[in-house]
A and B are shown apart, each in its own frame.
Chain A
């Protein structure tokens, strides 16, 4: 399934929703301070020496942020506040989406989206959770929020995507043979036709036969592993084509941090230079659920590596299994102040 972001539909009333562009007015991320080496998690995760060796040597994992005592709201708030700081005078946040991977991030009677909204003083904002695309949920939320703004948003309407969660149990933290999950959060203030980064396209595909997550059979895991690179390449090519670009015109792929070996195989499939995929944060932060692409974005931006007018590809894969790719065009002149330091 792919829904080009330029596929505008008429609104039920009011002015027709044209093909207004989704723009990302401010992206911020937050990483808790406590950093651990993966070996320190060996006992907790039941990882044997050889598994840790593979994770370090071949998957490229080293350290990650892990602070289980930090309340979830304290993890989510800094980046959300930072993104919200870009809301101009007269602007209002109509929607807040909390995108998460693990479906049970809080007790059933706790509405995390609502609590984040309240913590930010967004009492009139419609807040809701969004999941089911696992680690692609944050990119999916941007599209959903953009469509809501197109359908219902008037002048001065904004939306806030909030993502972030914690590796609160070994089952959540260790994806066997794949990655070690880590804590982080990210947020993105969205509007239509703003001055921020323009979302050029979003392609996503869900292969429902792998919906059992960690309960797949050995045969299904083998089958999934074999087609992993090819499936990512498909959504990447689709997103790039829908953006009216070629892969050569993409400056950099800003990926999820699942592991370096999986990306090595994908890079081969894409036939691109290894430097085209930003993997520097894999050994620093490991895989931070749906926050990776935004954490990596802020790392690159803060290092001055994002160029005005250049095109970037945000790519993530979620268990379940969803593959997603979004093309954005960076607008460096966009004012940027008050972001949370990491």
Chain B
């Protein structure tokens, strides 16, 4: 998996949540665009936020984030788990 090496327990939880919604996939590279590819569609965005908050153990500050922070596993890791 191309995501190997950047892993942390937190981002693994996010990856597992996305893969759990898409049983047809077994892996998810860190640079896949989650929104454009519809791995996270608009219906799932709230749940994604809850998953990240749960995994990171913090509340997301919506004043200081942008949608680009949610674009890929790599950007999510940088924004919330670094």
Contact = CB atoms under 8 A, between A and B. Distances in A.
B38 A57 contact: no
Nearest to A260: B42
A59 B44 CA distance: 12
**Which of B43, B47, B53, B59 has the largest count of A CB atoms less than 10 A from its CB?**
B43
A50 B60 contact: yes
Which size bracket describes the interface of A in this complex?
Answer: 20 to 34
Contact of A262 (B42, B50, B60, B65): B42
Interface in A45-102: 49-51, 53-54, 56-59
Nearest to A269: B38
A221 interface: yes
A264 B45 CA distance: 13
B21 interface: yes
A225 B50 contact: no
B49 A53 contact: yes
Interface in B25-45: 35-36, 38, 41-45
A188 B27 CA distance: 51
* Residue of A54, A228, A259, A262 with highest tally of chain B CB at under 10 A: A54
B41 A265 contact: yes
B82 interface: no
B46 interface: yes
B59 A265 contact: no
B67 A58 contact: yes
B37 to A, nearest CB: 10
Contacts of A53: 49, 60, 62
Given A57-B62, A226-B41, A51 B46 contact: yes
B21 A58 contact: no
Given A50-B53, A54-B49, A259 B42 contact: yes
A261 B45 contact: yes
B20 to A, nearest CB: 10
Interface string A141-179: 000000000000000000000000000000000001110
A59 B41 contact: no
Interface string A17-29: 0000000000000
Contacts of B67: 57-58, 261
A264 B71 CA distance: 13
A54 B45 contact: yes
**Which among A50, A221, A264, A265 has the greatest number of chain B C-beta atoms within 10 A?**
A50
Contacts of B44: 177, 221-222, 225
A9 B47 CA distance: 50
A194 interface: no
B12 to A, nearest CB: 21
A229 interface: yes
Contacts of B22: 222
A268 interface: yes
B77 to A, nearest CB: 19
B50 A50 contact: yes
Interface string B46-82: 1101100100000110100101001000000000000
Given A225-B41, A228-B43, A261-B45, 8 more contacts: A50-B49, A50-B60, A58-B45, A177-B42, A221-B43, A221-B44, A228-B42, A262-B42
24 contacts: A50-B50, A50-B60, A53-B49, A53-B60, A53-B62, A54-B49, A54-B62, A56-B62, A57-B67, A58-B45, A59-B45, A177-B44, A178-B43, A221-B43, A222-B21, A222-B43, A225-B38, A226-B38, A228-B43, A229-B38, A259-B42, A261-B45, A265-B35, A268-B36
For the complex of A and B, the 8 pairs showing the least CB-CB separation, nearest first, are A225-B41, A53-B62, A225-B43, A261-B42, A262-B42, A177-B43, A57-B62, A50-B49
